[in-house]
Amino acid sequence: MTLRLTCTLTACSLAILPALAQAPSLANINTQLREQETKDSQLMWWLHEVTDVYGPRVTGSPGLRAAQDFAVGQMVKWGFSNVHLEAWNFNHPGWQNWDLQANAISPFQQPLNVRAVAWTPGSNGPVQGPVVVVEPPQPPAGAGRGGRGGGGGFGGGRGGGLTPEELAAIQNPGSAPPPMPPVVARENKPVTQADLDSYLASIKDKVRGAVIFYGPHVQVAENFVPAPLRRDENSWSQPGGRGRRGGAPTAAAAAGGRGGRGGRGGATAADGAPAEGLTAAEVAQQVNKFLIENGALVKVTDAGRAYGVIAQQSSAGYNENPNNPNLPSLLMGNEDYGRIYRTVTIDHIPVVLRINIHNEFYPTGRTVYNVVGELPGSDKADEVVMNGGHFDSWNAATGATDNAAGGAVAVEALRLIQTLNLPHRRTIRVALWSGEEEGLYGSIAYVAQHFGSAENPKPEWFRLDAYLNLDDGTGKPRGASVFGPPEAAAMVQTAMDNFKDWGFYHVNPTLGRQTGGTDSTSFNNAGLPGVGYSQDPFDYNTYTHHTNFDTYERIYEPDMREAAIEEALTLYALANADQMVPRCSAATMPAPPAGRGGGGRAAGGRGAGNVPVTPVAPFSLPPGVNPPERPNPCTAAPPAQAAPVSLPTASAPGQRR
């Protein structure tokens, strides 16, 4: 059966269904997979090894490399083929925290809840000093946010956000009449260089030999509506509801997912006009240099989350920018920070801390690896169905829900197929990515190396069937998105319909080619069928995402085992179908996003000020090229008719096309 260049959703869907049905009954295979996973699951054992023994797994660190060596060895033992590490150029040193102790010793004694900020230096042994609170003048909100601390890195909101009803409920304290109005916050004014110089001069004699508490204590709002572990069934059951993951519904609204990389902010105000005065990033940069030059010992920032939660997702510029150096830096739990801050600022009682931070940098970490393994196919072995998840984590805990979980599900899915000796015509390949937390670098590099893009495809571009990805915590799949036409979503839906009894609902098409959120978007960016699963939140956004609570204990085993079965059956169905997952035709393929500027492939590994950058970037429109209008939905086509895609020529400067 060959897909025609154009067809209706109904016609193509009906044509696809017999192709899947020609393989041994999906219902029968589903039963076998469920029985095997029930009697002989290895998923939680794998998760224990990857998290308890080898976590955390920061990109470029010895911890990640040890975990990768374990993964390679175990996949070989399970009978996977072509198991290997594939290198890519991270171009930054690896980093690992080996020891961390922080205690208040006067006027009270207390061990303190802290985590090291990644890629910041250590303290060179134990140091002891009084706390000095540093609160430099800050520009108005929105005027170039950024700076150091725990809020940088790749991340942001996940899981679709709160509904208007939930947001309104949070403002309701559950009492009547309503409480007193909040204290009116002081409105910041633009910060001039003279303002900052005056402030720094006022504290110069205080910071030498001191532990710096940078910024005020964060008043964490009370949450009267704790997030549910599972979303309401109605939110999943509506077509196009919360079933999108790893992509946006249309090319025009394609910035979905987790958000982009954090950063140092820009010189614009909240309304988009040029910012007046210094930006927050410029203030932070100057203060950092001042503190180092004047002999401060350690910089501590309030984690700003309730109940001891510390979210560490900062790369601190990889400590490579001489114009923006780092002190040894810690994030401290909101409660500990608040106690010390109040004692110092209200009572004016000196608080003395003793701190020891042992961090190491690893030049060999500039070359990083993805783990790849396969189950060879039969008559269509040159065509490949992939699944995977990112293997790297942040350093605050052991990276269980983000994302040892997704990698464990992917590997367990292949193990089930291998153990049951299920026949499959196409090769099935698993990939465990690195560099995801810093910007999807590992998967972007892999896609560029193997597939190219719809505009400049390599031979393997036409032979990749689809890529499946799970990266939203410990919940089972409840919906999914697929890059491509509605017919692509219908093909994946056919397999996933076997899990209605487990609460799976809809597979939705997406046309967004922006990267962001998770590794399936790296495939979308190339015009390939990336499948991103959506999951129930559990306590992912509230407690575990990038935090010190992201441990094995937060894994919900029943959902993870269900997820492995669902991925295994989908891989099996796609690997045995007569035709590959349809794609957008070359004439209707959405254009890649506009370039981000800055580093990327063209930068030769160096950025502004000759600072190293990772020479990996998503595919984007060439400079001066405006995106052509494409229909929504796009027209279904087999891979051979989906590329190469032609783009308009570049506009002359100042010319609109």
User: What is the DSSP annotation of 473-510?
Assistant: SSPPEEEEEEES-HHHHHHHHHHHGGGGGGT---EEEE
CATH of domain 9-93+365-584: 3.40.630.10
Give the start-to-end residue ranges of the domains of the chain. 9-93+365-584, 95-163+187-361
In the structure, what pLDDT confidence band is assigned to residue 3 with cuts at 50, 70 and 90?
A: very low
Reported as a single tens digit per residue, the pLDDT across 270-288 is 555 666 899 999 999 999 9
What is the greatest pairwise CA distance in the chain?
A: 80
Mean pLDDT across the chain: 88
In the structure, what pLDDT confidence band is assigned to residue 610 with cuts at 50, 70 and 90?
A: confident
Contact 617/91 with Cβ under 8 angstroms?
no
Q: What is the CA radius of gyration of the chain?
A: 26
- For residue 430, pLDDT beyond 80: yes
- Ranking 219-223, 254-258, 356-360, 603-607 by mean pLDDT, the lowest is 254-258
Reported as a single tens digit per residue, the pLDDT across 248-273 is 433 333 333 333 333 333 455 555 56
Reported as a single tens digit per residue, the pLDDT across 288-314 is 999 999 999 999 999 999 999 999 999
Please report where in the chains the tokens 């540093």 appear, as a residue: 134
What residue ranges in 492-602 does DSSP mark as E strands? 507-510, 530-535, 583-584
Give CA–CA dist 116/545, Å, rounded: 17
- Ranking 94-98, 218-222, 576-580 by mean pLDDT, the lowest is 218-222
Tell me the average pLDDT across 220-237: 88
Q: By three-state DSSP, how is residue 563 classified?
A: helix
* Tokens found for residue 224: 């009267």
- For residue 160, pLDDT beyond 70: no
Contact 654/624 with Cβ under 8 angstroms?
no
Tell me the average pLDDT across 165-188: 70
CATH of domain 95-163+187-361: 3.50.30.30
- For residue 354, pLDDT beyond 80: yes
Residue 14 confidence (pLDDT): 38
Residue 276 confidence (pLDDT): 85
Tell me the average pLDDT across 209-227: 92
Reported as a single tens digit per residue, the pLDDT across 485-510 is 999 999 999 999 999 999 999 999 99
Whether 95-163+187-361 and 9-93+365-584 are alike in CATH topology: the answer is: no
- Ranking 39-48, 155-164, 478-487, 548-557 by mean pLDDT, the lowest is 155-164
Give CA–CA dist 163/161, Å, rounded: 7
Q: By three-state DSSP, how is residue 418 classified?
A: helix
Give CA–CA dist 574/23, Å, rounded: 10
- Between CA 124 and CA 132, with CA 126 as vertex, the angle to 5 degrees is 100
**pTM (predicted TM-score):** 0.89
* Tokens found for residue 217: 């204590």
Residue 226 confidence (pLDDT): 82
Q: Checking DSSP bridges between strand 367-375 and strand 81-89, what pairing results, if any? A: antiparallel
Residue 57 has a CB neighbour count (10 Å cut-off) of 30
DSSP letter, residue 612: B
Residue 143 confidence (pLDDT): 62
DSSP letter, residue 49: I
